[in-house]
A and B are shown apart, each in its own frame.
Chain A
Amino acid sequence: MSKFNKGGKKEMPGITSSSLSDIVFMLLFFFMVTTQMRETENKVMVKIPEASESVKLERKDLNSYINIGTPILSLQGQYGTEPRIQLNDSFKTTTDIRDFIAAERDSKSEADRQFMTVSIRADQDVRMGIVSDVKQELRRCSALKIMYSTRKPAE
């Protein structure tokens, strides 16, 4: 009868952990692919206003960003606390928007140009004066598709 428990206590076989690294690598690749590094460094502080009706943007690659806000703390000594416009990586004025839009247009493929959207990322405490100036300049460059960056309020 003692056919099945011959040798007393049997040792548990150890779980092979060699596949663990494979699983982790898989996760790693997933995040590596989906992640996107921020291309430009923010030089202005932007706290995006809330709006419950925000919709998702379809094509992120057709987007150009105009940041409006007060300069970040480390740059306030140099540029003051007045809201500034940031295009790409530097502070610009409204007159530079024309060149910026032209450059952005050139970087898109011909078929996609008409779908180009300009995303206005403005701080919620910014006054409308500067935003109006930007909008007027965009109209002058006939970049008419715009989007006010907003975020959904936390529920």
Chain B
Amino acid sequence: MGKKKTPAINSSSTADIAFLLLCYFLMTTTMGSQTGLSRRLPPMPTEDQKLENQKVNKRNILIVKINSHDRLFAGGEPMEITFLKDKVKEFLTNPTNDPNLPEREMKEIEGFGQYPVSKGVISLQNDRGTSYQAYIAVQNELVKAINELRDDFSYNNFGKKFMALDEDQQNIVKDAIPQQISEAEPMEVKRR
């Protein structure tokens, strides 16, 4: 008796099996890239730091408050959220050298030269009852204002948008227009 040939395994169904697996992974996969707004919290203040905080000149602070009914106050007056961006832009650029708006200090920026950097700080205060959505909406407007200022600066000096610049140039722009948003302590909110 000679060797019997083993019959070939029918492989036409492997494609079906693979398709099935493929569909499973297609369904469960989340290409999800995490997106969000990055922030740096201030370190927990020590005693001597508190004194330093009070020294900040009044004209250099823009207080943005959101109360428990999600009403927005910027610089002491009620405001619609759509106007906040322009207010912040005006505050940070101070185009008319208004004595009530923040001063600008000549600073040496490495690789760029002298540039009057605004000393303005935006202080964001909220109530415990503020909804997270309103808070994020305000944060978003603040970031948008700063992003637009950075875009303007990049366009005037490098002829490109901020995102299209290389890393060194981006750092220059970041130095020229810092993102100065301070998130207030909840203690201050309670006092209000």
What band does the interface of chain B fall in when counting residues whose beta carbon is under 8 Å from A?
35 or more
Q: Measuring CB to CB, which residues of chain B are less than 8 angstroms from any residue of chain A? A: 11-12, 14-15, 18-19, 21-22, 25-26, 28-31, 33-44, 126-133, 135-137, 139-140, 143-144, 147, 183, 185-186
Known A17-B12, A18-B11, A128-B127; 6 more pairs at CB < 8 Å: A31-B29, A123-B132, A126-B132, A139-B42, A147-B36, A152-B35
Please, which residues of chain A bring their CB within 8 A of the CB of B38?
55, 117, 145-147
Q: A26 → chain B, closest Cβ, in Å?
A: 9
Please determine whether A127 and B128 come into contact, CB atoms closer than 8 angstroms.
Answer: yes
Nearest B residue (CB) for A141 = B44
**Known A-B contacts A28-B22, A140-B44; A49 and B137 likewise in contact (beta carbons under 8 Å):** yes
- Would B132 and A49 count as touching, CB distance under 8 A? yes
* Known contacts A34-B29, A52-B144, A54-B36; A24/B132 CB under 8 A: no
Instruction: Give the distance in Å from the alpha carbon of A148 to the alpha carbon of B37 in the complex.
Output: 5
A25 at the interface (CB under 8 A from B): yes
- Whether A154 sits at the interface, judged by CB under 8 Å, is no
Nearest CB in chain A: distance from B107 CB, A = 24
Contact A138 B41 (CB under 8 A): yes
By beta carbon, the residue of chain A nearest B12 is A17
* Interface membership of A144, Cβ < 8 A: yes
Residues of B within 8 A of A123 (CB): 132
Size of the chain A interface, CB-CB below 8 angstroms: 54
A contact set with B: CB distance below 8 Å: 17-18, 20-21, 24-25, 27-28, 31-32, 34-38, 49-57, 60, 63, 117, 119, 122-129, 131-133, 135-136, 138-140, 142, 144-152
* Most B Cβ at <10 Å: residue of A49, A149, A151, A152: A49
Residue from A55, A124, A144 in contact with B136 in the complex, judged by beta carbons closer than 8 Å: A124
- Closest B residue by C-beta to A125: B131
Closest 7 CB pairs of A and B: A129-B128, A54-B35, A31-B25, A124-B133, A35-B29, A51-B140, A21-B15
